[in-house]
C-alpha cells in the first residue's frame, strides 16, 4: 500500500460499529446487521487501487465534483480525499452527493458532518445532497469538473422482467446473459447523460463490478445453494424463486468495448482501464488466523454481511412476487425467511465445497475524459 493511501485512510472518518440512524430502503438501507454502511469495506479496498486514475487538479481554484450513487457509507470520503490529494492546498470544491430518493440520507448527512469536523488544512469544501435517479440529468449542462461512480453504474434503471432459471442452472451466468442488452443500453445512457453534465475536458471516474470468466463466484454459489434449499423445503414458493431478479449488470471487457465504441464521440480513455480481482478482506484475515471455529465464524460474518447488504432488498422484493415498496421494512414472516436464507448462506460458505475457495469479486476501474467539440444536442440525441 502506498504512503498516499495510508495517509488517506487516516483522514477518513472511522466506520461506525453500530448505527443510530435508521431510515431508507434499497441495498443502502440501514438494515441492522446488513446495513450497507457497515458492510462496504470490501468496496473501499478496491478504490485504493484507483490512485493511477485520479487526474491532476493542480492549478484549479474551484471544482465541482459529483458522486453518483454515493451510498450511505463513508466510501465517498475516500474518493474525495484521493481527488484532493491531487489539488492545490487552497482549492475550493463543491461536492454533490447523489443517490436514490430512498437512501439513508440521515446517514449521509452524518458522514458529511463527521468529515467536515475532521478536516484540517486550507482546502474548503461545500457539500450538497441530491436525491434522485442518475438515469436523469441531475446537474445543469457542462457544470461538473469530475464525476465519480464508485460501484454504482452497474445498477439497471429498472428491474428486468423475470426469467425461468431452473434451480440446477448457473443462475449468475444465465441471468447476466438475460439482462445483457438492457445492461448495454443502460450503461450507454448513463455515459450520455454524464456527457451533458461534465465539462469538455472534465473527468468521469468509474469503478464497476465485472464478470470475469475465471473468477470463483463464492457468494453467488452460496446464495443459490441457500435459496435452492429454501425452495426444496417449501420455505419459499416457486413463484418467489422465479421472482428473484438482481438488477445488476456486470459488464465484461467486451461489453465495455462495445459501449465505449458507441459513445466514442463523447468520451475518450486517456489510459487503459484496469481489471482487479480481489478477495474479500475477511478471507485474508482467515488465512492469517489459526482457522479455529471462531475464526471461520468471523470469516462468514464478513462474507454474509457484504453479500446480504447487497441483495437483501432484491430478496424482499422476490418474496413479494417481484413487486414492492418499503422494501426496507420486511414483515415478520419475510424477516423469518431472510433469516433462514442467511443461515443457509452461512452454512453453504462453510461447506466442504466452498470453505477453502477464495471469495473473489472483480472490478474494472477507468477514467473517461469528456471530449471537446461534440455539442450537447448530439449527446442528447444519443439517449
Ligand X SMILES: C[S@@+](CC[C@H](N)C(=O)[O-])C[C@H]1O[C@@H](n2cnc3c(N)ncnc32)[C@H](O)[C@@H]1O
Residues that bind ligand X (CB under 6 A): 26-28, 40, 43, 69-71, 73, 75, 98-100, 103, 133-135, 150-152, 155
- Kindly state the smallest distance separating residue 104's Cβ from ligand X, in Å: 9
- Kindly state the smallest distance separating residue 229's Cβ from ligand X, in Å: 27
Nearer to ligand X by C-beta: 150 or 345?
150
Nearer to ligand X by C-beta: 250 or 342?
250
DSSP-based three-state secondary structure for 365:
strand
Nearer to ligand X by C-beta: 194 or 344?
194
For 18, residues 6+ apart whose C-beta sits below 8 A from its C-beta are none
Nearer to ligand X by C-beta: 29 or 382?
29
Instruction: State the CB neighbour count (10 A cutoff) for residue 261.
Output: 9
Nearer to ligand X by C-beta: 157 or 347?
157
Nearer to ligand X by C-beta: 100 or 165?
100
Count CA atoms closer than 13 A to 112's CA, side-chain side: 19
C-alpha span between 264 and 247 (Å, rounded): 26
Locus of grid cell 475477511: 282
Cα 176 to chain centroid distance, Å, stands at 17
- Kindly state the smallest distance separating residue 333's Cβ from ligand X, in Å: 26
- Kindly state the smallest distance separating residue 122's Cβ from ligand X, in Å: 27
- Kindly state the smallest distance separating residue 150's Cβ from ligand X, in Å: 4
- Kindly state the smallest distance separating residue 248's Cβ from ligand X, in Å: 9
Nearer to ligand X by C-beta: 100 or 330?
100
For 270, residues 6+ apart whose C-beta sits below 8 A from its C-beta are 367, 369
CB 357 within 8 A of CB 214: no
Instruction: State the CB neighbour count (10 A cutoff) for residue 177.
Output: 10
Nearer to ligand X by C-beta: 73 or 212?
73
Which residues on adjacent β-strands are paired with residue 209? Answer: 363
- Kindly state the smallest distance separating residue 89's Cβ from ligand X, in Å: 27
Cα–Cα nearest to 218, from 289, 277, 164, 285 = 277
C-alpha span between 174 and 189 (Å, rounded): 24
Cα–Cα nearest to 221, from 272, 173, 157 = 173
Nearer to ligand X by C-beta: 165 or 279?
279
Instruction: State the CB neighbour count (10 A cutoff) for residue 182.
Output: 16
- Kindly state the smallest distance separating residue 153's Cβ from ligand X, in Å: 8
- Kindly state the smallest distance separating residue 377's Cβ from ligand X, in Å: 24
Which residues on adjacent β-strands are paired with residue 365? Answer: 207, 274
CB crowding 201-223: b at 16 or more within 10 Å, else e: ebbbbbbbbbbbeebbbbbbbbb
Nearer to ligand X by C-beta: 230 or 368?
368
C-alpha span between 179 and 247 (Å, rounded): 9
Residue nearest to ligand X (CB): 71
- In eight-state DSSP terms, residue 56 is P
- Kindly state the smallest distance separating residue 72's Cβ from ligand X, in Å: 7
- Give the CA radius of gyration of the chain: 21
Amino acid at each position: 500500500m502506498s504512503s498516499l493511501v495510508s495517509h488517506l485512510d487516516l483522514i477518513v472518518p472511522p466506520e461506525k460499529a453500530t448505527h443510530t440512524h435508521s431510515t431508507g430502503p434499497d441495498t443502502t438501507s440501514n438494515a441492522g446487521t446488513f446495513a450497507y454502511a457497515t458492510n462496504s469495506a470490501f468496496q473501499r479496498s478496491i478504490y485504493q487501487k484507483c490512485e493511477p486514475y485520479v487526474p491532476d487538479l493542480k492549478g484549479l481554484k474551484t471544482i465541482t465534483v459529483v458522486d453518483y450513487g454515493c451510498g450511505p457509507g463513508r466510501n465517498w470520503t475516500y474518493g474525495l480525499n484521493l481527488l484532493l490529494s491531487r489539488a492545490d492546498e487552497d482549492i475550493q470544491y463543491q461536492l454533490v452527493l447523489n443517490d436514490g430518493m430512498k437512501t439513508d440520507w440521515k446517514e449521509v448527512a452524518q458522514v458529511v458532518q463527521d468529515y467536515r469536523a475532521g478536516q484540517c488544512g486550507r482546502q474548503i469544501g461545500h457539500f450538497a445532497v441530491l436525491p434522485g435517479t442518475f438515469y436523469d440529468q441531475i446537474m445543469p449542462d457542462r457544470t461538473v469538473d469530475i464525476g465519480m461512480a464508485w460501484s454504482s453504474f452497474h445498477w439497471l434503471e429498472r428491474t428486468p422482467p423475470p426469467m425461468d432459471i431452473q434451480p440446477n442452472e448457473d443462475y449468475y451466468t444465465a441471468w447476466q446473459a438475460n439482462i445483457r442488452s438492457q445492461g448495454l443500453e443502460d450503461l450507454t445512457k448513463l455515459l450520455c447523460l454524464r456527457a451533458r453534465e461534465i465539462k469538455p475536458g472534465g473527468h468521469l471516474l468509474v469503478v464497476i463490478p465485472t464478470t470475469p470468466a475465471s473468477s470463483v463466484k463464492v457468494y453467488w454459489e452460496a446464495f443459490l445453494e441457500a435459496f435452492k434449499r429454501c425452495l426444496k423445503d417449501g420455505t419459499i414458493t416457486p413463484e418467489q424463486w422465479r421472482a428473484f431478479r438482481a438488477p445488476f449488470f456486470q459488464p465484461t471487457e467486451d461489453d465495455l468495448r462495445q459501449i465505449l465504441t458507441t459513445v466514442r464521440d463523447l468520451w475518450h480513455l486517456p489510459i487503459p482501464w484496469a481489471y482487479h480481482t480481489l478477495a474479500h478482506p475477511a478471507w485474508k484475515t482467515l488465512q492469517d488466523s489459526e482457522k479455529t471455529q471462531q475464526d471461520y465464524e468471523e470469516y462468514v460474518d464478513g462474507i454474509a454481511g457484504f453479500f446480504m447488504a447487497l441483495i437483501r432488498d432484491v430478496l424482499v422484493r422476490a418474496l413479494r412476487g417481484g413487486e414492492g415498496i418499503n422494501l426496507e421494512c420486511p414483515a415478520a414472516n419475510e424477516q423469518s425467511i431472510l433469516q433462514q436464507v442467511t443461515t443457509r448462506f452461512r452454512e453453504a460458505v462453510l461447506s466442504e465445497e466452498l470453505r477453502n475457495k477464495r471469495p473473489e469479486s472483480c472490478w474494472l476501474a477507468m477514467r473517461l475524459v469528456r471530449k471537446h467539440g461534440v455539442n450537447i444536442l448530439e449527446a442528447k440525441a444519443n439517449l
